[in-house]
């Protein structure tokens, strides 16, 4: 019996010695423990977030995704799941759980290692804030001491709140609120019991138990948490059985896939979010990514989604008109015995782009193509092959033919049918603003932000072509022209001696000449020769200065006659600002995209206070000029180059098409009193869009599709005619029109008595022959004489290459 007491006494002595050593070490270590200021004044790294004006998330920037929540906002099902998984006795111990330590020690002695650490939630908070994750006894001692200190200074709910907000849970998500968004696209209060159990199982090993990366291992951990919740009495048997029934790898993979799809199909405001990010960094430096700053933009979800859909459709329609170019790449595949892992690896570096999905061709013939994608084989046939049919034929070039090993794009057309598609090479941009104050309603800077970050809406300096003509015509109105004046649409020729370079003989788009026509008809039909004559008469120097009032940089519009054809340089953003002057009746506004900025505590730190048309915005255009230009551009929509816009069935639309030389750029700029929208189509590195790809063919359809949504439910708004206009007969006699009262032509001289008496009564007898010298002079013509073959001397020694409508 005595021999049994010897081991017990030895163990007791070792325990006493260990406790004494621990006490001594603790006595010296306690004063060196770090301050808990980072806990008591908790300031986590919260990412910069960008929102629409109506509260929808556009973008998030920062290394750590985090949504800070208060403990009262955490649902009990998630609290219980966390406690069951990590620290069931959290509310009972003082930061260190002796029962847990004993259990872990026994397990480690049995296994001969240090597999279990018995860390409480408080100890994990201490480690996450102050220590590393290395498994050493020295680090463990400090962890225990810090846990005791934390428990002494903070309440249990405060500690649990820190843990819920700080812990890393994979997918760049820090804290359970961010993880709920990352894995399930939900808020905490929307989590189900199985989802809460899945998230609660992540802290132990976020990468190993990630349900997106490893659904099988994640489900094993999820089932363990559910059992622990049952054993701890947090849930009943029925709830446990119901949750366990859906805790399967297949369900886990499906749920997280649905969540990721929801996130991928969110609002496509990447270009707007990037603009807001740059503004935040300018204001706050790199700390902008950590301070929890929230930026509210002027974008609305309805307009942004409409703009994205319209631009995407317009670009894809253009791309289909120009044919299928062939597969994106090829990989070598043996004829048989290829594993799914090998196929997945071949597609691993190929990103999807919205609904244009990457797929690997397994079999191909003119009648059917079978592709592989994410463990699934998809067969495409019938109409789904029509677009790519030329590259399925035997005579197709081998380097462009669809064959086994080709990487192509496919798109779901609905009803479980697919089609072969391709990534467009052409780019486009759309910017929409409120003409009253410049608030940007929608902005898309390119076909796909993931492919190019270059924002064509704000950075793309391109020639505007005929979409710039309204500014020249507006300048002509200020110099005495009216819509009813007649100008010659006849040939012009400028010899090399006049241009200072090569001879220039400008043409109209159709190569024809219409002779005498009114200014209104010339703009409606976009006649180049009339525009040149107008600019020639008012002088390019005057026009260059004049366009500055619309917000354009005069230096980018050299004073040559080619300015009449849009040979300068503009961005869609600048065009939106310019056309807004016509839309709002003559006031200069500046587009802006950031409405408000809030700090991490929700305090407003910045707000845009824009000038408003009719109130604080400067007037830069005579209201009569704005009204007349609006009237002429409405004719462009009704019977001119933008006549297809009549499909919108509105009478308050105005605008102008634009196409540059060699079809390098296609524009449509249009508006009503409530919305100005600019669309552009072209290649990032300018090249020919293809014959017939004018502003009316390539850019106008995007504008129409956007405006059909932007103006949905909006009543027509007509602008009243301002004072100071008089009605006159158009020079060609076709209609009555308006012009400035001060430029009204003088009344013709009265006829002599003999001529008036001749028509006074039928009883006057036979008409008398008028003497030649008494014939009244020819009435003053409404048109202004403009020489046909004389141009002002160029400012520089060379005239730019002319462009046409």
Q: How confident is the model at residue 755 (pLDDT cuts 50, 70, 90)?
A: very low
Which one, of 348, 358, 310, lies nearest residue 699 by Cα? 310
Give the contacts of 430 (CB within 8 A, at least 6 positions apart).
307, 310, 311, 442, 443, 444, 457, 572, 677, 678, 679, 680, 702, 703, 706
On whether residue 766 sits in a domain, the answer given is no
In a domain, 379, yes or no: yes
pTM (predicted TM-score): 0.80
Between the CA atoms of 145, 147, 149 and 151, what dihedral angle is there, to the nearest 10 degrees? -150
Task: Read off the pLDDT band of 40 (50, 70, 90).
Answer: low
Which of the residue ranges 57-61, 246-250, 580-584 would you say has the lowest mean pLDDT? 246-250
Residue 115 and residue 251 share a domain: yes
Q: Which of 466, 467, 531, 645 is catalytic?
A: 466
Same domain, 257 and 346: no
Q: CA 267 to CA 299: how far, in whole Å?
A: 11
Distance between alpha carbon 361 and the CA centroid of its chain, in Å? 32
Residue 366 φ then ψ, to 5°: -60, -15
- Are 73 and 178 contained in the same domain? yes
- Which entry of 86, 88, 270, 290 is annotated as an active-site residue? 86
Q: Does 84 map to a domain? A: yes
In a domain, 168, yes or no: yes
Highest mean pLDDT among 2-11, 109-118, 407-416, 687-696: 687-696
Q: State yes or no: is 531 an active-site residue.
A: no
Each residue of 302-356: pLDDT tens digit? 999 999 999 999 999 999 999 999 999 999 998 888 888 888 888 888 988 999 9
Query: What is the overall mean pLDDT for the chain?
Result: 84
pLDDT at 774: 29
Domain count, the chain: 2
Residues 245, 373 within the same domain: no
- My answer on whether 20 and 165 are in the same domain is yes
Q: Do both 149 and 256 map to the same domain?
A: yes
* CATH number of the domain encompassing residue 211: 1.10.3810.10
In a domain, 530, yes or no: no
Residue 143, pLDDT > 50, answer yes
Whether 773 is catalytic: no
* Rg (the chain; Cα; Å): 37
Q: Tell me: do 114 and 249 sit in the same domain.
A: yes
The reply to whether 442 falls in a domain is no
Q: Of 387, 421, 455, which residue is a domain's last?
A: 421
The two counts, helices (H) then strands (E), for the chain are 24, 22
Last residue of a domain, one of 249, 266, 283: 266
727 lies in a domain?
A: no
- Residues 113 and 262 reside in one and the same domain: yes
Query: Are 648 and 706 spatial neighbours (Cβ–Cβ below 8 Å)?
Result: no
Please report which confidence band the pLDDT of residue 129 belongs to, taking 50, 70 and 90 as the band edges: confident
* Residue-wise pLDDT tens digits, 273-289: 999 999 999 999 988 98
We report the CATH number of the domain holding residue 372 as 2.40.50.140
Confidence of residue 138 (pLDDT cuts 50, 70, 90): low
Q: Positive or negative CA dihedral for 656, 661, 663, 664?
A: negative
Statement to judge: residues 239 and 335 lie in one domain:
no
User: Whole domain around residue 401: which residue ranges?
Assistant: 325-421
The arithmetic mean of pLDDT across residues 257-286, rounded, is 83
Q: Same structural domain for residues 129 and 245?
A: yes
* Residue at 744 is within a domain: no
Regarding whether 254 and 385 lie in a shared domain, the answer is no
**What are the pLDDT digits (tens) for 592-638?**
999 999 998 889 999 999 999 999 999 999 999 999 999 999 999 99
154/34 same-domain check: yes
> Which domain-ending residue is among 382, 400, 421?
421
């Amino acid at each position: 019996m005595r021999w049994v007491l010897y081991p017990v006494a030895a163990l007791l002595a070792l325990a006493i010695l260990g406790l004494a050593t621990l006490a001594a070490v603790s006595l010296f270590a306690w004063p060196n423990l770090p301050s808990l200021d980072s806990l008591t004044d908790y300031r986590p790294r919260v990412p910069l977030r960008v929102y629409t004006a109506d509260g929808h998330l556009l973008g998030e920037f920062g290394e750590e995704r985090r949504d800070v929540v208060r403990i009262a906002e955490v649902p009990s099902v998630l609290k219980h799941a966390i406690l069951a998984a990590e620290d069931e006795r959290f509310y009972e111990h003082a930061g260190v759980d002796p029962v847990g330590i004993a259990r872990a020690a026994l397990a480690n002695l049995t296994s001969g290692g240090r597999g279990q650490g018995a860390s409480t939630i408080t100890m994990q908070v201490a480690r996450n804030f102050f220590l590393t994750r290395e498994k050493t006894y020295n680090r463990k001692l400090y962890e225990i001491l810090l846990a005791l200190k934390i428990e002494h200074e903070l309440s249990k709910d405060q500690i649990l709140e820190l843990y819920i907000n700080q812990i890393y849970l994979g997918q760049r998500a820090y804290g359970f609120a961010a993880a709920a968004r990352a894995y399930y696209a939900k808020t905490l209060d929307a989590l189900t019991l199985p989802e809460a159990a899945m998230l609660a199982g992540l802290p132990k090993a976020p990468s190993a138990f990630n349900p997106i990366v490893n659904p099988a291992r994640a489900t094993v951990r999820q089932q363990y948490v559910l059992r622990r919740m049952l054993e701890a009495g947090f849930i009943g048997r029925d709830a446990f059985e119901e949750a366990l029934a859906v805790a399967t790898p297949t369900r886990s993979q499906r749920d997280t896939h649905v969540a990721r799809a929801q996130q991928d199909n969110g609002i496509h405001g990447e270009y707007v979010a990037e603009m807001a990010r740059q503004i935040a960094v300018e204001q706050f430096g790199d700390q902008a990514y950590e301070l929890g700053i929230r930026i509210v933009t002027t974008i609305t979800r309805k307009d942004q989604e409409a703009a994205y859909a319209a631009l995407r459709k317009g670009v894809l329609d253009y791309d289909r008109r120009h044919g299928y170019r062939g597969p994106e790449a090829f990989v070598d595949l043996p004829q048989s015995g290829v594993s799914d892992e090998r196929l997945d690896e071949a597609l691993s570096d190929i990103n999807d782009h919205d609904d244009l999905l990457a797929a690997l061709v397994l079999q191909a013939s003119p009648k059917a193509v079978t592709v592989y994608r994410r463990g699934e084989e998809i067969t495409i046939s019938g109409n789904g092959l029509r677009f790519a049919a030329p590259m399925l034929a035997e005579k197709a070039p081998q380097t462009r033919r669809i064959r086994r090993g080709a990487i192509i794009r496919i798109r779901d057309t609905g009803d479980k049918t697919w089609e072969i598609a391709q990534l467009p090479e052409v780019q486009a941009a759309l910017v929409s603003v409120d003409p009253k104050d410049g608030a940007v309603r929608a902005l898309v800077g390119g076909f796909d932000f993931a492919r190019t970050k270059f924002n064509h809406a704000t950075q793309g300096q391109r020639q505007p072509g005929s979409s710039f003509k309204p500014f020249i015509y507006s300048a002509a109105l200020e110099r005495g022209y009216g819509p009813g004046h007649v100008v010659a649409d006849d040939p012009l020729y400028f010899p090399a001696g006049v241009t200072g370079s090569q001879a220039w003989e400008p043409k109209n788009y159709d190569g024809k000449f219409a002779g005498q026509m009114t200014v209104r008809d010339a703009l409606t039909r976009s006649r180049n020769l009339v525009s040149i004559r107008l600019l020639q008469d008012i002088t390019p120097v005057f026009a260059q200065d004049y366009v500055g009032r619309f917000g354009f940089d005069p230096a980018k519009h050299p004073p040559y006659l080619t300015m009449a054809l849009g040979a300068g340089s503009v961005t869609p953003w600048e065009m939106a600002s310019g056309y807004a002057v016509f839309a709002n009746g003559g006031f200069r506004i500046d587009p802006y995209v950031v409405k408000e900025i809030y700090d991490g505590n929700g305090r407003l730190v910045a707000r845009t206070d824009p000038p408003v048309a009719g109130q604080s915005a400067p007037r830069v255009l005579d209201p009569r000029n704005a009204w007349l230009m609006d009237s002429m551009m409405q004719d462009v929509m009704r019977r001119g180059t933008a006549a297809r816009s009549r499909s919108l069935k509105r009478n308050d639309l105005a605008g102008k098409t634009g196409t540059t030389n060699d079809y390098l750029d296609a524009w449509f700029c249009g508006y009503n009193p409530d919305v100005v929208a600019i669309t552009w189509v072209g290649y990032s590195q300018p090249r020919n869009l293809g014959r017939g790809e004018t502003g009316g063919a390539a850019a106008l359809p995007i504008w129409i599709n956007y405006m059909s949504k932007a103006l949905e439910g909006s009543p027509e708004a007509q602008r009243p005619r301002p004072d100071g206009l008089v009605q006159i007969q158009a020079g060609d006699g076709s209609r009555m029109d308006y012009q400035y009262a001060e430029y009204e032509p003088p009344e013709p001289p009265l006829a002599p008595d003999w001529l008036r008496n001749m028509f006074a009564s039928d009883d006057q007898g036979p008409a008398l022959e008028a003497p030649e010298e008494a014939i009244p002079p020819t009435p003053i013509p409404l048109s202004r004489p403009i020489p046909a073959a004389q141009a002002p001397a160029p400012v520089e020694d060379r005239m730019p290459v002319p462009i046409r409508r």
